[in-house]
Amino acid sequence: MHSEIEHQLAAMIDRDRAEREQEYCLDDLELCNLCAKSLTEEQFVVDGEVKGTPQTMLPNGGSVGQLAYMCGACFFKRGVGIGWGRGQLYEQISQGEWLQVAGFPI
């Protein structure tokens, strides 16, 4: 049974684009960078900006805070959002294999 957090993350998926683009996270994801929860049994992980972290100025005049790999619970507590420049959503499609399913470039 999926948790409410997994249902909310699943609602963000763009399955057609994910299957067409086949972008994978190349990092070895073991633990949530914020709470140290094991990611091995998680369905989703977010690679994104963390609220309230120091901002770094970008060449285009924008700014970005610290980035982290987050479990779903930490994302909903501390993540900025899903979207290009904010956060990418990955789904674990087999053990340790993470397909990008949302947050694609515009």
pLDDT of residue 1: 38
Q: How many domains does the chain have?
A: 1
Which secondary-structure segment (H or E) carries 14?
none
Per-residue pLDDT band at 2 (split at 50, 70, 90): low
- Listed in sequence order, the DSSP H helices in 2-102 are 4-10, 15-21, 72-78
CB contact at 8 A, 91 and 42: no
pLDDT of residue 25: 97
What percentage of the chain reaches a pLDDT higher than 90?
A: 91
- Cα separation, 39 vs 29, whole angstroms: 7
67-70, strands of its sheet edge to edge: 67-70, 44-49, 87-94, 97-102
| Residue-number span of the structural domain to which 26 is assigned | 4-102
pLDDT mean across residues, the chain: 95
